[in-house]
Structure 1
Amino acid sequence: MDSNVETKIARRLLLSQKYGVLSTHSLEVPGYPFGSITPYCLDRQGHAIILISNLAQHFKNIRANPKVSLTIVEGRGPEVQAQGRLTYLADAVGLEASEQDARERYYTYFPDSREFTESHGFFFFRLKPVKLRFIGGFGKIDWIEPDQFFLPNPFTGEEEKSILTHMNQNHREALRSYLRRFKEIDVKDEEAVTMVGIDGEGFDLLATGRMIRFSFEKFIANMNEARQALVAMSRVEK
């Protein structure tokens, strides 16, 4: 497989999932990895942002050794070895107080987490990438350097918020049509469908209690291209 195509598939996997297995170096059992499921979203550079309680084992482990990995699995089909999976090796770095945009993006994807952060001891970390390992199925294996993998989000926080507000307030039926046409999902009238994020390669809808990823046919670089892509998708006949 062409390395550029493989990298794009690997990046789409990271974009399409919102949970992974975070592995840290155990303090309780030195020398052994400690892994558990952790939600994540991506910042403007495409790097993973995670939120951890100061009571969690991961928090204590990261404080002692920031070297971590996040493993993401495609999660489709009966044969797990044939599915795509990505191991994201990184240094966990605490967010600065000034990095509010990354926090707000996380809250948009995981609204209940705002209360945790404000009333309990939860802390944000950015996973600063070191190297990535992608397995696209049997025999499709490769290491990927960060500078070959990540694509910055072309939208500022304000631009993304503007798109989300516009789509959620003025184009609710279009959001439902995306689900019907591209995912064959019918949503009841009383069920909410919300666009929670957009980037240069696609967007995410929250519907029927789950996050659903939609990919653009080509990379979009600005607000006008986003509008054109969203309008075109609403007119696609399936």
Structure 2
Amino acid sequence: MPETEFEPADQAAAFDPVATARRILRTAKSGSLATVAADHGAPFASLVVVACDTDGTPLLLLSDLAVHTRNIQAEPRASLLLCAQDIADPMQDARVSINGALAACADERIRRRFLARHPEAEGYSGFKDFSFYRLEVRDAHLVAGFGRIHTVAASGLLLDLAGAEALMAAEPGIVEHMNDDHADALALYATKLLGAPDGNWRITGCDPEGIDLVGEAGVRRMVFDEPANDAQAVRLRLVALAKRARERGIQRKTL
């Protein structure tokens, strides 16, 4: 359970800090990375683009020439600030600071998931001075408006992938199949279930909790009604959600 630092009783029942922190993490495309300056020890903040590993661990693609990379080579501890999308008043909407240590990672899954979220980075991702990094999470600090301030443990922020090995192995095929053969269903998920505008929506990742969708309007997260740990379970969830989306579209037309 997350530690509640200040949460009025009348708000606590309806507000889920873990779900809110996970949603921000899964839908952020960029954030502010705070590192410790190697030359003078003061905080150093920089803009980075962000993706997620299957369990939600933040992923970064950094150049060895960047100041923040030189900083983490000397001191890997860092904090990543992510904010909710489409913010009219930044101080009134949710944001989460994810604290931990950055570690370089050459896993092909990391590369695939990052470039699915940021295909524009493929052209330079193979340069010798660029490397992928995982932010090994210690905890997260969520501020979601007045009176909603929580510390979320890593065990709450990240998914437990025990038993989901089959899904992780099948994920590339699921993503390719949905994007190639079911673009209509992806558009239904985004517009009818998630309230997103029409556009060219594509799936970038799949995990036991849900799928990530990316379009011109940003990133959307669709959470399954129940966890899915293999390809067949994901298929059943997606078919049911497509049916629900079509029914919702018909209902709105008849109003």
Fold shared by both chains (TM-score > 0.5): yes
Q: Does 1:159 align with 2:170?
A: yes
Q: Does 1:185 align with 2:197?
A: yes
Q: In structure 2, what is the equivalent of residue 55 of structure 1?
A: 65
Given that residues 99 and 138 in structure 2 are in contact (C-alpha distance below 8 angstroms), is that contact kept between their aligned partners in structure 1?
A: yes
So what's the TM-score if we normalise by structure 1? 0.87
Given that residues 164 and 196 in structure 1 are in contact (C-alpha distance below 8 angstroms), is that contact kept between their aligned partners in structure 2?
A: yes
Q: Does 1:79 align with 2:89?
A: yes
Q: Distance in 2 between matches of 1:193 and 1:130?
A: 33
Q: Which runs of 5+ in 2 are unaligned?
A: 1-11, 249-255
Q: Does 1:109 align with 2:117?
A: yes
1:173 alignment partner AA: D
SS of residue paired to 1:82: coil
Given that residues 138 and 154 in structure 2 are in contact (C-alpha distance below 8 angstroms), is that contact kept between their aligned partners in structure 1?
A: yes
Q: 1:66 to 1:216 in 2, by over 3 A?
A: same
SS of residue paired to 1:119: coil
Q: Distance in 2 between matches of 1:161 and 1:23?
A: 32
- Farther-moved stretch of structure 1 (66-75 vs 212-221): 212-221
1:107 alignment partner AA: L
Give the drift of 1:56. Answer: 0.7
Q: Deviations over 1:15-48 (max 9, x none)?
A: 12121111111235x2321112211222233211
- Farther-moved stretch of structure 1 (207-216 vs 122-131): 207-216
Q: Deviations over 1:156-188 (max 9, x none)?
A: 44311111122122212112222331225223x
Instruction: Please show how residues 9-158 of structure 1 align to structure 2 within 5 Å.
Output: 9-28=20-39, 30-95=40-105, 97=106, 99-152=107-160, 154=164, 156-158=167-169
Q: Deviations over 1:94-137 (max 9, x none)?
A: 11x4x222122212222232331223410111111112111121
Given that residues 36 and 78 in structure 2 are in contact (C-alpha distance below 8 angstroms), is that contact kept between their aligned partners in structure 1?
A: yes
Q: Deviations over 1:188-223 (max 9, x none)?
A: xxxx43211112222122323633332323333332
Output the aligned Cα RMSD. 2.3
Q: Percent identity?
A: 27
Q: Distance in 1 between matches of 2:90 and 2:112?
A: 34
Q: Which runs of 5+ in 1 are unaligned?
A: none
Q: Distance in 2 between matches of 1:42 and 1:156?
A: 16
2:120 alignment partner AA: D
Q: In structure 1, what is the equivalent of residue 251 of structure 2?
A: none
Given that residues 101 and 157 in structure 1 are in contact (C-alpha distance below 8 angstroms), is that contact kept between their aligned partners in structure 2?
A: no
